[in-house]
Every structure is written in structure tokens, then in C-alpha cells.
Amino acid sequence: MKINTIVVVTDNVVKQYYGYALRKAFKSLNCKIVLLSFPAGEKSKNINTVISLQTQMLNHFCSRETLIIALGGGVVGDIAGFVAATYMRGISYIQIPTTLLAMIDSSIGGKTGINLSHGKNLMGLIYKPKITIACIDFLASLPRKHIINGVVEALKVFLISNIIHFNKFRRRLNKILDYDKKSLETLVRHSANIKMNIIKQDLHENGLRAVLNFGHTIGHALEKISRYKILHGYAVAYGILFEAKISELLGILAPEKYDAIKTVFNQLGFHESYFKRFDVNSIIKATYSDKKARSNKINYVLLKDIGKIYSYRSSYTHPVHDKTIKKAFLTLIGEKYHAR
């Protein structure tokens, strides 16, 4: 691969912390280095940012011999990946994630994209980076709420696939929240490996990859209702509680397993009482606009045990009746369900 220009794409916050330093570190390389940034946050994840970045690249005479480096969290990774996938019909890119969520989740698997007014990640494509380089040192400056945001995705990965890791990291939660480097490193290594293994088997989400959406059907609905003010991982944490409760009510997950999951999420500050602020009908309505909804049926990933997904007739997603969603909701907020 011949490269004559490196474009580092980042947001204005990460640019201050690490963008200039990375540009300086690349100075000795025999190629042109361009540092481009946009305002941090989900609001930037739109077509205008993509057009602005690509126009700046054209102004810098970037050809197909350009390498993009996505330096930042999931927002930067998704936008920079999309820019790489579409610039002159596709150029190479590398992911250097700087949030825990990006290290564990968004920088792996090649999903790139932007938001449209109808919802999140509705325009995009799967376009794999040449490599993802996760360096734990970046996490030292990351606010704690974003550490929790990433921990949730790691716990999700363990919940669907590995009870040993789930129990191990459950015991290490305090160390992780105290930014213990070794604990963070093993958390990233184990969860990233599991995600990579799943993706290797099903890149385009025709089957197995769907298990990664555990907690996400309700999680996406909560994000939508709260107009994306809630962090993705936080929405997924509540989504996990809700979808584990559905699994319990359907007789798939044992009640004591649900309680074990609840205890861990309580420790991270996620409580069932949170749902009291919502109307269940609005949650159900929001799930219907999820892009994973197929033929007007809302499919859920359900849990059979800690570390094990429920599968039936080789399918990992299952339609769940609205009545069950309502029952789960009322149980979560401590009210009785009366069938009408």
C-alpha cells in the first residue's frame, strides 16, 4: 500500500489531548500529515461533517494514496470510517480508539455511518479498518462516566458469551472504575477478542452477529426517547436489565440469574426505578423504528443464562409480544400487571 498523505481525523476535545501530539510524532514520516477535526459529540455525526471533511481533503489534494487515521471515540470512528469508505470510492483507514467504548466496541467490526433526522446510524456501510490500535494510556484523561459507558458494553459481551469473564470482571469493577491500567487492559483484550470472533463468523449480521444487540432494542428506544441525551452505554445498561427481565418472564432465564445481573448493574448505578419516568407505550413505539425491526416484528435477543444466549430453530432473535414488554416494564417499576 503506497501512502503519500496521512489525514488524522479527530474531534476538538481529542485534538487538544492527543491530536497535535500525534501529528508531531508523525513528522519524521516521509509523507504529508493533515490534522482535521470537528466539534465533539453525537450532533456532529451527520452528512455535513462528512462533506466538510471530504472537501478539506480535496483542498489538501488528497488522492487515493491517502490513509485516514480515526483518532477518538465512537463518533470519530464512525464518521472517519464513513469518510474513508466513500472518499474517491474508498481509501484505507486505521482506527485509534480513545474511549473505552470505542476500544471494546465501535472500532471493531467495520460498522461506519452517520445519523439522519429519522434516527441513528441510518446511513452507513460496513468498511473494515486496516488495523485497530487500542492504547490504554488514552483512558487516563477519559471522564469516569465514559469509563462506565464502555464497561457496560464489555459486560454485555461477557453476558452473552462467557460466565467466567463476567464473574471475573464483576469482582474487578472497583479497580476498573479506579482506572487500574492492568484491569482495563484485560477488560479490553477479552471483550474485543470475543467481539472479533463473533464478527469473523458473521460480518454482515445475517445471524450470529445479532447476539451483540442484546440490550440494544430497548437501549435504542431509550436513546431515541431521550433525544440522545443519554449515553449509548447507559441506555444499553437499562436495555440489558429490561431484556433480561423479559427473558425471565418468558421462563428462559432463571430469576436468581436475573438478580445476579441486577446486582452488578446496581453497583454501576443503574437501577430499575429509572423506568418510572417512562411511559411503556412510548418505549414500545420507539422500538418499532429500530433498524433491526424486520417485517414489523420487534425481535429481541434473549438470555438463557449468564454467558449464554437463547437460540431457537437456529435463530438468535425472537419476536416478543407487546403484552410481555408491558409486563416486564411493570415488574421493573414494582407494579402489578393486569391483563386487559
Ligand X SMILES: NC(=O)c1ccc[n+]([C@@H]2O[C@H](COP(=O)([O-])OP(=O)(O)OC[C@H]3O[C@@H](n4cnc5c(N)ncnc54)[C@H](O)[C@@H]3O)[C@@H](O)[C@H]2O)c1
Residue choice 50, 62, 82, 146 for contact with ligand X (CB under 6 A): 146
Which of 94-102, 254-262, 299-307, 315-323 is the region at the interface with ligand X (rule: CB under 6 A)? 94-102
Q: Closer to ligand X at the Cβ: 146 or 327?
A: 146
CB-closest chain residue to ligand X: 74
Which of 134-142, 173-181, 183-191, 197-205 is the region at the interface with ligand X (rule: CB under 6 A)? 134-142
Backbone angles phi, psi at 75, to 5 degrees: -65, -50
Residues recorded for the chain: 340
Binding mask 5-44 for ligand X (x = CB under 6 A): ------x-xx--x----------------------xxx--
Residue 151 CA to residue 2 CA, distance in Å, equals 38
Of residues 148-177, which lie at the interface with ligand X (CB under 6 A)?
Answer: 149
Residue 240 CA to residue 212 CA, distance in Å, equals 11
Residue choice 84, 105, 286, 287 for contact with ligand X (CB under 6 A): 105
Q: Closer to ligand X at the Cβ: 12 or 324?
A: 12
Residue 63 CA to residue 17 CA, distance in Å, equals 28
Question: Which residue is it, cell 412510548?
Answer: 282
Backbone angles phi, psi at 231, to 5 degrees: -65, 150
Amino acid at 75: V
| DSSP per-residue letters across 40-89 | SSGGG-SHHHHHHHHHHHHHTT--TTEEEEEEESHHHHHHHHHHHHHGGG
Q: Pairing mode, if any, of strands 119-126 and 111-116? A: antiparallel
Q: Closer to ligand X at the Cβ: 67 or 219?
A: 219
Q: Could you tell me the three cell numbers for 119?
A: 434516527
Of residues 54-83, which lie at the interface with ligand X (CB under 6 A)?
Answer: 72-76, 78
Q: Closer to ligand X at the Cβ: 230 or 252?
A: 230
For residue 112, give the nearest of 136, 133, 132 by alpha carbon: 132
The reply to whether 223 sits near ligand X by the rule CB under 6 A is no
Which of 52-60, 98-106, 171-179, 298-306 is the region at the interface with ligand X (rule: CB under 6 A)? 98-106
Torsion of Cα atoms, 289 then 273 then 173 then 250, to 10°: -60
Q: Closer to ligand X at the Cβ: 109 or 239?
A: 109
Q: Closer to ligand X at the Cβ: 90 or 255?
A: 90
Q: How many CB atoms lie within 10 A of CB 282?
A: 12
Q: Closer to ligand X at the Cβ: 228 or 337?
A: 228
Strands of the 66-72 sheet, one edge to the other: 32-38, 5-11, 66-72, 92-97, 131-132
* Shortest reach from residue 81's CB to ligand X, in Å: 7
* Shortest reach from residue 275's CB to ligand X, in Å: 22
* Shortest reach from residue 222's CB to ligand X, in Å: 14
Interhelix angle 255-267/144-161, rounded to 10 degrees, is 160
Total interface residues for ligand X by CB under 6 A: 30
Of residues 231-250, which lie at the interface with ligand X (CB under 6 A)?
Answer: 232
Residue 107 CA to residue 115 CA, distance in Å, equals 17
The reply to whether 138 sits near ligand X by the rule CB under 6 A is yes
DSSP 104: I
Residue choice 46, 56, 121, 226 for contact with ligand X (CB under 6 A): 121
Residue choice 37, 106, 191, 213 for contact with ligand X (CB under 6 A): 106
Tell me if 287 sits within 8 A of 321, measured CB to CB. Answer: no
The residues that are catalytic are: 89, 111, 153, 195, 205, 209, 213, 216, 220, 232
Q: Which residues would be at the binding site for ligand X (CB under 6 A)?
A: 11, 13-14, 17, 40-42, 45, 72-76, 78, 98-99, 101-102, 105-106, 109, 111, 120-121, 138, 141-142, 146, 149, 232
